[in-house]
Amino acid sequence: MNQSLASARTPATLEVVPLGGLGEFGMNMMAMSWEDTTIVIDAGVMFPDPDQLGVDLIIPDLTYLESRRAQLKAVVLTHGHEDHIGAMPHVLPLFDGPVYGTGMTLALIEPKLAEHGVNPGDRLHVVKPRDRVTVGPFTIEFIRVTHSMPDCVALAITTPVGVVIHTGDFKIDQTPLDGEHFDLHRFAELGTQGVLALFGDSTNVDRPGFTGSEIDVIDGFEEVFTSTEGKLVVATFSSSIYRMQVLVDLAAQFERKVAFVGRSIVQNTEIAQRLGYLRVPGGMQIRDSDIANYAAQDVLCITTGSQGEPQAALPRIAIDDHRYVKLSPDDTVVLSARAIPGNEKAVARTMSHIARRGADVITNSMKKIHVSGHGSAEELKLLISLVRPRYFVPVHGEYRQLAQHARLAERVMKGHAPRVQVLLAQDGDTIQFDARGARIGEKAPTGRILIDTTRVGEVGDDVLRDRRHLAGDGIVVAMVAIGRTGDLIGTPEVVSRGFVVGEENPDALFDDAARAIAACIESTGVEERTDQGLMTEKLRGELRRFFKKRTGRRPLVLPVLMEI
């Protein structure tokens, strides 16, 4: 009797925890749990801000998943963009279960796992739209959606408390290049049957109307092909397979050879051609090393670097640093992508370098050569009205997008009974569904892990802080010799790199710094002087204060103590 009363008071709960993607663009990851089963939806990365020096990728803090290793049963992926699959090499070692995704999605994951030395064995399971898989109490159905790349799906997850739909990234493209249409009928059927909760992509909620179809760029590119007398170089995202198909088709029409330039774009196009998602006529594709063998007017280069990334192909071409691709005044460069917020300066620098080569630059503000992969406000309204969820959770976007999507859902569902309840969650919020309803509970541990791929490891806050000091104020090295008895031997030597002293006389400043070191040592007890670790930290603090007071700057201070 007491046990049944306790059960009534604490019904079994479906727990959904967004670990990334709510409050920022990218790093999409969500955990869904029922009793002893947890599944993960997507495992993405985010790219660093300019001040995060030496950081290549940012992934969600995995503490929550690590605490649930025993019940972590599967990862389910919606599509193959970096912000949804980039963290898979870090997530896969946490559990032994399967990874479900479409053919294109899993094919893009395989080289990432190989780079990290992670062997997936037979754990990658290919699914198709309308397929269903069962993981513990969850039955997951994959639903076709259209996006800016092939093989994208939404998820309809049947749970013990109802059906939960996760849209993934989508737009409603009614004229898709591959003929694979958005499965509006299935969403409508699910809405008729009853949907507990809809987790909806909020990326373009602040754009009115409908997002353009991928075929909408054809007219703009036709004009570019017609007017370009020399080489045509088009920069786009390496996953924009549809955009590349448009360009390849136009290149065939205008009798140009196609060269894919940039490591990631070469890798992705090879995968897409192998799977049949990108069709290049025989004899049309050439290597970048062969470009010089053809007349400029006979070549189309499709490159990486649309965001001005320093090591990508286009920025290197722009500064005449690419081994095979050189620009001349008759050439045209097209940036077929929207600048991600924060990348505007890098893109502008790249455009200026291209102009110095004498080539013409075309952006989306000049011609229609880019469309978004995310649905605008009217598409988001349409999906909500088809699904008619009991609860709505906006995902994927900064907080302002999530809040606007929440208001939009309330307007769409106004007058429906029961009225939709919006759960405006952020990373780490525990969203709970049970027989009593839904609510946002306690916070789960969340955060960000900064990855430096050259070190194959994390970048801690202290490392990032030191890098900022180096970049902003340079470095000061103080070399100090101390005898075995703790006495200072000779005069400390102070040198710097990248440190600007302003109106100060550098020699006088560094002489005063040496005297400050000597005074610090003299005021310290013998026992502390002979402890190298303690003395190093004491000198570091003293010199930081000295340079801050004298110059207003905060260089990275590196005391080097030598025992003689």
CA distance 245 to 221: 12
What order do you get walking across the sheet with 437-443 strand by strand?
Answer: 124-126, 99-101, 72-76, 37-43, 29-34, 14-20, 429-434, 437-443
Which residue in 42, 61, 201, 452 is the catalytic one? Answer: 201
320-325: long-range pairs with CB below 8 Å, 24+: 320/357, 322/261, 323/288, 323/289, 324/261, 324/288, 324/289, 324/291, 324/292, 325/233, 325/259, 325/261, 325/288, 325/291, 325/301
Confirm whether 374 is a catalytic residue.
yes
452, HSE (Cβ side, Cα atoms, 13 Å): 14
Can you tell me whether residue 250 is helix, strand or coil? helix
Which letter, b or e, does each residue of 205-218 get, where b requires 16 or more Cβ atoms within 10 Å of its Cβ?
A: bebeebbbbbebbb
Which one-letter amino acid corresponds to residue 552?
G
CA distance 343 to 348: 9
Q: Who's near 292: CB < 8 A, 6+ residues apart?
A: 324
Residue 6: CB atoms within 10 A of its CB come to 9
The CA distances from residue 272 to 149, 215, 489, in Å, are: 10, 19, 67
Which one-letter amino acid corresponds to residue 156?
A
Closest CA to 90 of 24, 43, 29, 149: 43
Which residue in 374, 396, 405, 469 is the catalytic one? Answer: 374
Closest CA to 367 of 211, 225, 206: 225
Q: Which two tokens stand for residue 307?
A: 């965001």
Q: Who's near 116: CB < 8 A, 6+ residues apart?
A: 89, 90, 456
Radius of gyration of the chain (CA): 28
Our measurement of the distance from residue 284's CA atom to the centroid of its chain's CA atoms, rounded to an integer in Å, reads 33
Residues with a catalytic annotation lie at 201, 374
